[in-house]
């Protein structure tokens, strides 16, 4: 009888340890997926016209802002004698600007947050789009 009881206790402890480790494995996944929250918003019909220069291997300005729901019209000018790109993955935007060229692009800022853009040729060229 005592042997059966101690076996039961051992089995219970083993079950508890299994359950506890299962919980510990599950929780970091939840935390990691919760870091980036984006709220999708409808188009409001407003526009933001922003001039953005690519000069001396930098974006000028390197932080641009708009309101959620606005159409962003981005006037890109490459002042360098090297090719650059304006790559904004969050809005599926990737434009190549040959040296000395300019181009206007537009996209709908349909989600709030801070989104990084960069030049895919020169990884040190970075900037942020803030959608409020």
Total residues interacting with Cu ion, rule: CB under 5 A: 5
Alpha-carbon gap, residue 112 to 47, rounded angstroms: 15
b/e 94-106 (16+ beta carbons within 10 angstroms → b): eeebeeeeeeebe
Cβ(33)–Cβ(91) below 8 Å: no
Is position 96 an interface residue for Cu ion (rule: CB under 5 A)? no
Binding mask 103-132 for Cu ion (x = CB under 5 A): ----------------x-xx--x-------
Is position 84 an interface residue for Cu ion (rule: CB under 5 A)? yes
5-13, 22-30, 45-53, 84-92 -> range binding Cu ion (CB under 5 A): 84-92
What sign has the CA pseudo-torsion 61, 67, 68, 69?
A: negative
15-23, 78-86, 97-105, 108-116 -> range binding Cu ion (CB under 5 A): 78-86
**What tokens appear for 10 in the block?**
């051992």
Query: Given the rule CB under 5 A, which residues bind Cu ion?
Result: 84, 119, 121-122, 125
């Amino acid at each position: 009888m005592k042997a059966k009881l101690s076996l039961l206790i051992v089995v219970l402890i083993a079950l508890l340890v299994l359950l506890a480790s299962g919980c510990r494995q599950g929780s970091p996944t939840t935390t990691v997926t919760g870091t980036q929250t984006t709220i999708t918003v409808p188009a409001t019909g407003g526009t933001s016209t922003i001039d953005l220069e690519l000069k001396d291997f930098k974006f000028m300005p390197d932080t641009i802002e708009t309101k959620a729901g606005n159409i962003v019209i981005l006037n890109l000018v490459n002042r360098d004698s090297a090719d650059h790109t304006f790559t904004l993955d969050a809005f599926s935007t990737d434009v190549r600007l040959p040296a000395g060229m300019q181009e206007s692009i537009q996209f709908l800022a349909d989600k709030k947050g801070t989104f990084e853009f960069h030049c895919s040729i020169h990884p040190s060229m970075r900037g942020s789009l803030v959608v409020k």
